[in-house]
Each structure stands twice: as structure tokens, then as C-alpha cells.
Chain A
Amino acid sequence: MSAAGRTSAGWWLLILPALLLVLVFYIAPILQVLAISVSEPEPGFANYERLWTSEGVQRVILTTLRICTITTALALLLGYAIAYAITLASPRARGWWMLAVLVPLWISVLVRAFAWVTLLRRQGLVNNMLMQWGLISEPLALVWNEFGILVGMVHYMVPFAVLPMLSTMREIDPRLLAAARGLGASRGQVFRSIFLPLSTPGVIAAGVLVFIFSLGFYITPAILGGGKTLMAAEWISLQILDLIRWGLGTMLATVLVLAILVTLIVFSRVVDLRRMFGTGG
């Protein structure tokens, strides 16, 4: 018994370095953010009152929720199509489809935002091409607005939507689909009454994942929004770096963290975090 106890202590010792690092250099700085939100400029919940009184704060929250909702819906739709294609593809084609998902996932988010700016700005490739073909006479405003943010964010989020949906779809027995087909169901019927219901848990997991990732997204909205459409993360950075209003910035940061944690807890029954992140490997 004591030998087993000592062994267990040995294994705990292995956990210790990571645990200390995370507590001292991750959890502590974040707790400090929460503390600043109720202590600066003066102790109390004055910063949180702004949630009800300040139009600026409300606008940022509404913009963030609107963009995140649209992003999630589009990423789910496009991601579903890809996951569906991968599930039904032959093993060889499957490898190529996976590549189309995993390569963008690992390419730097800055590179992708830069590519979108190259394509979408006023003198960009898309506007030039449309003008050359005579489809438009004036360049369209495709970037540095909400449209640009959405294009870039959906592009970033689709791979994150695909992975959880894919792991659910792979568990659907293909014989079920073949049997339904054989019994005379049309392709649409098979999809609606078998495939779609069975893949719904994956869709919910993907939706939660994409939504919480979108909430705190900084780089893509900052580059493609051009400073006009502010989402939560960029607004926080503005409060802290430019306006030195720590109380307000940390207040919204706290709200952001709480919103994410609450979403995760509410959906924890459908969404297995560990599995969700494990599918990438």
C-alpha cells in the first residue's frame, strides 16, 4: 500500500512542472484581469454598469454577437458539405479532401488575412478582374468592412467546423445508408431522415467550437475590418493600448471569458472537449 502510494506520488511529481507553469504564468495573469475589472479605476462594479448604460459597449457586444452568429452559420454550412464529402469519399479521395481542410488550418492566420486583403481591396485582384470583364464600373467595397471580416472569419473557421462533424459522421454506419437506398428511398430522403439526424451531435459540437473561437477573435477582424467595425477583442485592445482604460478593457475581457465558459458548460453534455480537440491529430 505504501509502495503504491509512493509510486502515485512519483507520477504526481511528473504533473507538477506543467501544473506550476500553468498556475503561475497562465491562471494568475488571467485572474489578475478579473481582479482589475472590479478594482480600477475604483473598487466596485462600476465597469459592469457600462453594460447597461454605455451605448458604445452595447454596440461592440451586438456587433460581436452578430458577426459570430453569421460566421458560425456559414462555417457550419460549408464545413458540413466538406465533412459530408469526406465521409462518403473513397479512401484515396479522402486523403486529398483532408489535405484541403488541414493545410488552411495550419497556415498562419496573418498570411491568410494578407491574402484576403490582396484579393479584396479596391485595387485588388477581384475588383480588377470584375472591372476588366466589364461587370462593374466602380470597385466594390469588399474589405475593411463587415463583409471583409465575414469572408476572412468563415475562411478561418471552416476547418474547425469540419473536424468535430467529421468524427461524428464517421461513426454513421454506411450500410444503413445503402440499405435505405436499396429499399427505394431517394437520396434526399436518406439524407433528411438518416444522415442529418445522426450527424446532428457533431453539428452542435462544431457550432459551439466555432462560436466560442469567433467570440475572442482578434487578428482577422482587426486586419479585414480596417478599424471601422469593432469586435470585442479589438475593442479591448483599443481600451488598453490606446485609451489606457484598464477597468473597461478588463471588464469586457471578463465578460468574454464568462460567456465562453457558460456556453461550454451549457453544452458540455453534447460536446466532449477532449474528443473535440483530439480529432485534429
Chain B
Amino acid sequence: MKKYLSLIAVAVMLTACNTTNTSSKGDSSSAAPEYDRSSLNILTPTGAPALAFYNYAGNAKFETNAAPATISGQMAAGSKDVIVLPTNAGVKAIVDNKAPYQLAATITFGNFYIASLNNDDNQVMDENDTILLFQKNNVPDKIFHYVYGDQFNNAIHYAADVSAVAQAVIAGKYSDPDTGTEYVPNYVMIAEPALTNVMSKKNTVSVYADIQAKYKEKSNDQALFQASVFVNKNVEKTLATSFLKSLEKDINDAIAEPTKLSTGMSKEASAAEVFGVAPQMAENVLKKNNGMGLGFKYAKENKAAIETFLKLFNIEGLNEEIYF
């Protein structure tokens, strides 16, 4: 019997020591002007948004996740101090699920490109080509349609995610999971760093269009406010402000000196898995005219651009309280 009781005790102890709490409330009152990077629990999706947190590598309170849907769930539960999500998904969680967060700043401004497989005779994307997009009815799809309208609808096919698009580019073919039909794509919508990765493996691939530039043309020079930082309402305001200032500095430093990005990321032993990009690859893409679209803009000062972006997802008439 003692054996069984000790088993229960060990199991309970092991789970108890793993529990996470929002820790900011207690610490926030003593916020120092210099931001301590272990003050807040942060959760961000892997890829471009995670790179903004290169100085948080190895920090126990910094967590990344490869499945944005699970981040939305945690946002609704209010379990983290800071959450990074696509701007539309975060705002939707606040509006629909009453997630206790405010939109503070945007940190990625688009990393989408149209890549050509250079197998199109006239080298011009038109309705006679096969175009592969990803995430139907989600950010990439909405942006593509905003930029190009419905003119290519008959040419469009969808892959589940950007990895499936990259796989199709390398293989030179795509099999539709619904119909089983095989297509040879001529053009694909793809995101960095997958684009650089694909181009390193298949040298016939080239960039056909920069979606960010097209978006700017279409929206009277407004940037694509893709992924944003959402701060929990329970976090003390001065602490949140110093966090945002520190993050802004980190991002600007990395853009000015991309080696800082890879150096910072490398402090984490499994950096490639945690950030979703290997440090050297991240540095290379950043050097390529900031291919990840990193940046920092306060949400409150850029309401018009944010609302233009949110309009793509039929989110309109936002309450002023949503902004930090």
C-alpha cells in the first residue's frame, strides 16, 4: 500500500511543480525604469512575430507555440500577461470572447510574397495559370483577394499551410486533398522564411511580387498591420509601457544590426524549434530588406491602418477601450 501512496505523492508533486500563473500583478508595483525581461509571461506564435523576442531566448517566462488556434484559446482564458497574435485573431478574441486584453502595438508588417516557379510561358500571372494559396479564408487568402480582387478565382487552389505550399514548390506538384487531383502550380503565395528556404533548395524559383508593396499601393500607403502585441488588462500600466519600450528598442536594434537577432536567438539551445526559424536563416531573411516584415508601431497612433486591415475580416466599429 505504501508503494501506491508514494506513487500518488510523486505524481501530484510532479504536476504541481509545472503549474504556470500570471505573475505580473504582484511584481508590477515595483517596476523599475529599466525593463526586466523576466517580469511578464509572454506567449507568441513561432515565425516572424517570435523573432521580435530574440532577447528573450532561454527566458522561462517566454513561450512560443506553433499552433495559433491554441494561442487564441489561451488568450480567451486570460492566462498570459502578453500575447502576440495576428491582429484580426487577437481583436476577434477580445470582441467575441471578451478576452481581457488590449491591443498595444503591431510588430510584424507582412512577410508574404508571390513566388514564380518559372514554368509559365508568358511569365505573367493570369487566370489561365495555377495559383496556390494557403489558409483559405484566413489572413493570406484575404490579403491576396484584397490586392488582386477576384480576377484569379478560377486559377486558385488552396493548401492547408505555408509548409504545404513550400512542399508543393519543391516537389513541383500539388495534390488537392479534397479532390485528389494533381496540379502543377505556376505561382504560389508563400511567407518568409519558407520562401528563402525553398529558394535555397530549388534555384528555379523567383519572387514574382511583394504582397506588402501591393497592399500599400492599394490602401493609400498604409502598412499591413499583420501581427500585434496584446497586453493583459491586469498588467500594471507602467510595467506594460516599459515592456513595450524595451521591445521597440530590441526590434529596431535587430533591424539596424541583423547579427544581434541570431546572436540573441542562439542563447536558446533549441532556437530553431522555439522560434520556428534557425538563427542564421532568420538573420539572412532580415538582411534581405527586412523580409520578415519586423517593425514596431503603437496601435493607438495607427488606428486607421489597423482598421483598414481589420475590415478585410469584417471587423468594424471598434471600441476605443480595445487600444492600450
A-B interaction: no
B residues lining the A interface (CB < 8 Å): none
A residues lining the B interface (CB < 8 Å): none
